[in-house]
Amino acid sequence: MSIASSSSAAPAVAAAALNWAGRLWFAVAVFGQAAFIGFILAYYGVRTATGNFAGWNDKPLIDGYVEGDPMGNVVFAAHVLLASVVTLGGLMQLIPVLRRRWPGLHRWTGRVFIVIALFMALSGMWLSLVRGTSLSPVSDAALLINAVLILIFAGLAWREALKRRFDQHRRWAMRTFMVVSGVWFLRVGLMGWVVVNRGPVGMNDTLSGPADIVLTFGSYLIPLAVLELYFAAQHSRHGAVRAAMATLLLLASAYTAAGVFGTIAFMWGPYL
Ligand code: HEM
């Protein structure tokens, strides 16, 4: 192969590497989010369906089921059970083959996803601010910012779809996916940190250790930053930029896989 042809092939190789690294990360995320959905249904779903509401507290929670607080318990139940629906809806929206083959389904799951995402943010704010479920001021602040971002991004994704500006819609929809997944990223981020460091370095029980603070705000700010870099790399004409982004996504996939393993092994598995 001549030098000229190998150098002209390099950008295409970098573009393919970026594409495959993106798919790899998404495949790991699909597996990890499916485990999250499975846990919610097997733990909260089964206990709620059998009327064992007090059983929500079989695992460590801040409040969960509180005797004599019917309103708080109903909002908590709706919040945790709809968490499985919003997570499934977000995944379905991002799977290209579903979008291409069944555009009508994409529109309906999109509407359901956005309405439930808005409910998740509002019910989460209600649990924090009205019910008073709180771990520490830092983690409360991080969650409230997450809620506000869900409200703004979901609204923008919807608006762009209505205005038929599909490139902008795709961007806002992916940003919405990242912030709606913030709670999942938080668990994966915390457990990934524990797995990588072989212990809870810089962490404490109220999520206010130095590593906790980075990971609670990072649970949506880091995925959003990586997403913006991904958009920029997709539009870059430089093979080196795409290759660097592909490498970053490989590292992100490895960390996410470690975190998914940690959530299943330490956070959810022991309570099923
Ligand atoms: C769409 C994103 C969200 C999902 C998927 C989600 C999911 C969950 C899940 C699964 C639980 C049960 C806790 C557990 O088993 O560990 C939970 C509880 C809770 N969530 Fe969310 N949540 C989301 C957004 C939010 C937001 C934005 C806030 C705050 C503003 C929030 C506040 C809470 C609170 C206060 C609890 C109760 C914790 C306890 O009593 O221990 N959530 N959420």
* 185-240 confidence digits (pLDDT tens): 999 999 999 999 999 999 999 999 999 999 999 999 999 999 999 999 999 999 99
100 class by beta-carbon count within 10 Å (0-12 exposed, 13-18 middle, 19+ buried): exposed
Q: Pinpoint the alpha helices (H) of the chain.
A: 3-40, 46-49, 70-94, 96-101, 103-126, 137-162, 166-180, 182-197, 210-235, 239-262
Which among 46, 31, 39 is positioned nearest to 266, based on CA atoms? 39
- Whether ligand 1 lies within 6 angstroms of the CB of 83 is answered as yes
Distance between CA atoms of residues 149 and 115, nearest Å: 14
Q: Quick check: helix, strand or coil at residue 198?
A: coil
Nearest protein CA to atom 29 of ligand 1, as residue: 124
- Whether ligand 1 lies within 6 angstroms of the CB of 176 is answered as no
Can you say how many angstroms the Cα of residue 240 is from the centroid of all Cα atoms in its chain?
A: 28
Identify the residue whose tokens are 């064992």: 52
Residue at 267: amino acid letter:
M
Q: Which residues of the chain have pLDDT under 50?
A: 1-6
In the reported structure, the alpha carbon of residue 79 is separated from the centroid of ligand 1 by a whole-number distance in angstroms of 7
Q: Which two tokens stand for residue 59?
A: 């695992």
137 class by beta-carbon count within 10 Å (0-12 exposed, 13-18 middle, 19+ buried): exposed
Distance between CA atoms of residues 181 and 90, nearest Å: 8
Q: Quick check: helix, strand or coil at residue 128?
A: helix
What pLDDT shows up at residue 3?
A: 44
Distance between CA atoms of residues 172 and 190, nearest Å: 26
Residue-range domain boundaries for the chain: 30-271
Nearest protein CA to atom 2 of ligand 1, as residue: 180
